[in-house]
Structure 1
Amino acid sequence: MFNGQPLPFFQPLIDTATGRIAGYEALARLRDEQGQIVSAGPLFTDPGVDPDDLLDLDRTIRRMALEAFRDNPDGFISINISPLWVSRLEPGKPLPSLQLLEEIGLPPEQVVFEITELQGDLQELKEAVRRYREAGIRIAIDDFGAGYSMLDRVLALEPDILKLDIQLFRQAASGNGNSGDFVKALALMAEKSGCWIIAEGVETEQELHFALECGARYVQGYLFARPAENFLPPDAVKAEFSRMRDDYAAGKLAERAKLMELRNSLSVLFGDLRKWLAKGGKPTDLPSPKSYPWLLRCFLCDAHGTQISPNYEWTNNSWKADPRYLDHNWSWRPYFYQILAEAGQDSRVILSNRYRDATTNQYCITSGLFIDNSRHLLLVDIDTALI
């Protein structure tokens, strides 16, 4: 057993398009004899707690949350559903949660069932999700990105909403390691599959900016509001959220300005490199890299992506030729066919998306310029850390 009075707390989810509160997640809490509020979450992972007691607690708080939200005219409420509870349902029997919604009188369209944990039988869960969706309920999956088994559930359940794994999200938002690109790739995958993204645990403006960069439709966290017993006015955080969103947009515009500066510098560099080629292309005649501190290397390919020159790299205050990549064809690389798609525009400096260079392990951008009536492609690799 457990001690304390069960009750639901509610944490708002902010719509990034409007800044308004779009809905709430219901969270399980207990009030002890001294009136202190504690999370009931640890009970659900404690093997010493009787599963029947946990099921009673879960259903009690679920009913209280839905009854409290019933009189809320706008938005949706997200309710956690454990796959373990689903596995205890009798096949063909009515689903208790659907019966509860009908009894309370809350439209299913205002409800999101959030699938938590990785346990339970996937086929049973898939069948329950099908019935929930037929009733008009949207499905979310929590901790997206936490592991392969979660990806397996995403493919099987085809959810409407994905909630990024909070630990992975925070690590990615901090800028440490490779997790940022990984989370952005997850978000892109979600977007292509028609899912909306929720970023939870947002506590700083830096984390908010990263959530926006990932295309999150909803954000949730202490930066906006802590969980509470009561609901807030829909516009409670709109003004502050709008300011932070404007700061993010301003930062992106500043990045765009830096990119334009880079393009201008590249135009000058490519002009120097064309003169260098016209003079015979000797390494000793290459222009000084002092004006281009971000320059990693330059090389020449034919129009089909086959490298026809060595890599020229600035090493120990002089240009060195590295012939190891002669005759390698790079047209299969994502950054390269992005550049090849622009063939025929000799005067246009082309930039790839950022990628991690397999040789140096550095984050790079490759820039290209077609020359000689698009018969050759002049390329430079750029260290993005020095832009």
Structure 2
Amino acid sequence: MIDGHALPYFQPLIDTATGRIAGYEALARLRDDNGDVRSAGPLFTDPQVDPDDLLELDRTIRRMALESFRDNPAGFLSLNISPLWVSRLEPGTPLPSLALMAEIGLPPEQVVFEITELQGDIHQLKDVVQRYRQAGIRIAIDDFGAGYSMLDRVLALEPDILKLDIQLFRKAASGTGNSGDFVRALALMAEKSGCWIIAEGVETEAELHFALECGARYVQGYLFARPEENFLPDDAVQAKFSTMRDHYVSEKLAERAKLATLRRSLAQLFAELREWLATGAQPTRLPSPKRYPWLIRCFLCDAHGTQISPNYEWIDRHWRADPRYLDHNWSWRPYFYQILAEAGEDSRVILSNRYRDATTNQYCMTSGLFIDDSRHLLLVDIDIAHI
């Protein structure tokens, strides 16, 4: 027996292209006799609660949410679907949610079914998902990135929307460890597969900025609105979102300005290195790194990416030659073939994307300049923490 009166609450999803409310996620709540409202979510993971009672609660919430949303003029409603309920369906039988939507009269195009977990029989779940999609319903996967072993199941379901795992997203947005690169990779994978990204749990402007950096189509969280019993005007947070988006763009422009300054410094450094090569390439005569605090090392490769000089690194206020990487070919490295692609442009300073350096474990970029009619390639590694 579940105590309390069931009701749906609705949390807006903000379209990052417009700043307007594009839809809502329906969330299960219980109201006690004193009028206090609490989340019903913990009940769905409590093994002491009767599954039949949970199914009844789930269907009650779903009906109430669809009925409430029916008169909403636009947007979509996202409803959680547990594979637990899917597993109780007989193969080929009518799907209760589709029957309910037909009864209420809500167009399937206004509904997203959010798969809350990926356990159970994947073939049965895939069949049900295909039937939902054939009816015109979009499919979302919740907690994307939380279960690394579930990637094959995500791909099998071919979702329209992926909702980033909230804990992973927050960790990445805070800059903890290398989780940021992992989430960016997930977002890039989603983009390449044609999925839209939802970033939920957005509570700070920094988290919004990270969501925008990941290309999130929708954002959801307390920064804009808490779950409520009623719907908001679709422009309720547009002004606030627009201001924060402008802050994000300003930050990105400032980053571009730093890169422009870096390129000018690199041009000066490469000029000094070319002069150094022309006058005998003695390590003691390398340019002073005081003007280049971001410089990690410099070295020389041939046009095919094979290293033909030692690494020269500034250690204990002296240049040190490290010959360990002589004859190593770096052309296979992603940052390196970006640079090799520019062969033939001797006067152009080339700058790679950011990557993690395997030797120092620092986040770096590599810059290169072809010289000697593109027969040689001068390279410097840059510590981006000092840009």
The Cα of 1:253 is off from its aligned counterpart by: 0.2
Q: Does 1:323 align with 2:323?
A: yes
Contact 1:114 1:140 in 2 (8 A): yes
Contact 1:345 1:370 in 2 (8 A): yes
Q: Distance in 2 between matches of 1:148 and 1:183?
A: 12
Contact 1:118 1:149 in 2 (8 A): no
The Cα of 1:148 is off from its aligned counterpart by: 2.2
Q: Distance in 2 between matches of 1:341 and 1:123?
A: 45
Q: Does 1:254 align with 2:254?
A: yes
Q: Distance in 1 between matches of 2:235 and 2:340?
A: 48
The Cα of 1:147 is off from its aligned counterpart by: 1.6
Q: Distance in 2 between matches of 1:38 and 1:196?
A: 30
Q: Does 1:74 align with 2:40?
A: no
Q: Distance in 1 between matches of 2:81 and 2:272?
A: 63
Match of 1:307 in 2: 307
Match of 1:359 in 2: 359
Q: Distance in 1 between matches of 2:310 and 2:28?
A: 63
The Cα of 1:73 is off from its aligned counterpart by: 1.2
Match of 1:59 in 2: 59
Cα deviation digits, residues 20-51 of structure 1 (max 9, x gap): 00000000000011110000000000000000
Q: Distance in 2 between matches of 1:79 and 1:147?
A: 21
Question: Equivalent residues in 2 for 1:103-118 (5 A)?
Answer: 103-118=103-118
Question: Equivalent residues in 2 for 1:1-387 (5 A)?
Answer: 1-387=1-387
Cα deviation digits, residues 189-222 of structure 1 (max 9, x gap): 0000000000000000000000000000000000
- Structure 1 stretch displaced more, 113-122 or 26-35: 113-122
Secondary structure of the equivalent of 2:298? Answer: strand
Secondary structure of the equivalent of 1:232? Answer: coil
The Cα of 1:120 is off from its aligned counterpart by: 2.0
Q: Distance in 1 between matches of 2:328 and 2:125?
A: 49
Q: TM-score, normalised by structure 2?
A: 0.99
The Cα of 1:176 is off from its aligned counterpart by: 1.2
Secondary structure of the equivalent of 1:253? Answer: helix
Q: Distance in 2 between matches of 1:59 and 1:153?
A: 26
Secondary structure of the equivalent of 1:298? Answer: strand
The Cα of 1:171 is off from its aligned counterpart by: 0.3
* Identity of matched residues, %: 83
Q: Distance in 1 between matches of 2:383 and 2:154?
A: 36
Q: Distance in 2 between matches of 1:162 and 1:150?
A: 13
Contact 1:339 1:350 in 2 (8 A): yes
Q: Distance in 2 between matches of 1:346 and 1:112?
A: 53
Contact 1:5 1:30 in 2 (8 A): yes
Contact 1:110 1:137 in 2 (8 A): yes
Stretches of structure 1 that go unaligned for 5 or more consecutive residues are none
Secondary structure of the equivalent of 2:55? Answer: helix
Secondary structure of the equivalent of 2:186? Answer: helix
Contact 1:305 1:331 in 2 (8 A): yes
Secondary structure of the equivalent of 1:79? Answer: strand
Contact 1:297 1:381 in 2 (8 A): yes
Q: Distance in 1 between matches of 2:48 and 2:119?
A: 17
Q: Distance in 2 between matches of 1:355 and 1:349?
A: 18
In the alignment, residue 156 of structure 2 is paired with which amino acid? A
- Structure 1 stretch displaced more, 212-221 or 143-152: 143-152
Q: Distance in 1 between matches of 2:217 and 2:150?
A: 20
Q: Distance in 1 between matches of 2:346 and 2:100?
A: 66
Structure 1 stretches of 4+ with a deviation exceeding 3 A read none
What is the aligned-residue RMSD (CA, Å)? 0.5
In the alignment, residue 328 of structure 2 is paired with which amino acid? H
Stretches of structure 2 that go unaligned for 5 or more consecutive residues are none
Q: Distance in 2 between matches of 1:52 and 1:357?
A: 54
Contact 1:295 1:380 in 2 (8 A): yes
Cα deviation digits, residues 49-89 of structure 1 (max 9, x gap): 00000000000000000000000111000000001100111
Secondary structure of the equivalent of 1:299? Answer: strand
